[in-house]
Structure 1
Amino acid sequence: MARTPRDEALITAVYAEHGRALLAYATRLTGDRATAEDVVQETLVRVWKHPDVLVNGRGSVRGWLLTVVRNIVIDRARARSSRPSEVTDDEIVAPIAPDHAGGVVDSLTVLAALEQLSPEHRGVLAHLYFAGRTLDETAQVLGVPPGTVRSRSHYALKALRRLVETPAEVPA
């Protein structure tokens, strides 16, 4: 369809008379000025393709234009919702699960070190850290004074730290 000066004059006149109202309405519907401008442009293309609607005498021209704007916005929303959502580059790469092998090795190292502690030191640590007892509760369960529990836990942790930090020799 070739443009004529008459078509350009028609579009210019429609835009001059109704452009601000169309843009305001489209902006209100879309919430985005750039999208609203695209909607108004598409509305004017439809006017250009069907100029007879403007002169057929049925209803208001502005009413028809606002209806076209609303329909375009609805069509765009439906098209967006029917398509799968777009994926960014960050979402394409699958997240890497943390490797828990280090934690397993650490647990085995600590368990091996605990076995090398004296039964008194191992018992205090078991009550305080594994059973979650307080210092006084541990003292009561073990039947020793709280000061003894405090002292044993201090020396037990010191020995455990030394055992864990010193790599064990692996037999050849």
Structure 2
Amino acid sequence: MRPVVVMLLMGLCCVPLAMGQEASVAPDGRIAEMVKALDEEETRFAPVMIDPARLDEQGRASQRRALQAYYDYRSEGFDHRRRVFAWQLLSSKIIFLLVVSLVGVGIYFSWLQFRQGFKGGSDADTRTTLEASPSGIKLSSPVLGVIILTLSLLFFYLYLVYVYPIEEIL
């Protein structure tokens, strides 16, 4: 895993240079700092091991239990993150299917409105009407198909721009 992280860090260090900006720290120096920070993070929370020769049997057993508890904790944390990522993958697929279905239904409804408008009819069919009654609201308009199509495509655009993008966090 460390070679992958180092390669990603190298790519990030070269971005300012590719954009015509000068990097404040040489890329090799920045990579070395980041690798050092990763090493420190790996050892920061690990239990401190005392030389077993300096401990009695009870101390060595306690040290083994602490070390086992530490690795159990790290393993459970990894399993939890793996399950969270699996759930996020499944839920994002479900949300994607719902969005595509909603957009498809919107396009279908707009097609129905366009078809009804192309059939023609009397002047009563081409007027915009809005009726509100206790049983509900009724709206009819020759441009209703365009409105539905615009709303469907706008919804899909907003989904693609704000929900769908996947960003990597280092």
Tell me whether the two structures share a fold, i.e. TM-score over 0.5: no
TM-score (norm: length of structure 1) = 0.28
TM-score (norm: length of structure 2) = 0.28
Structure of higher CA gyration radius: 1
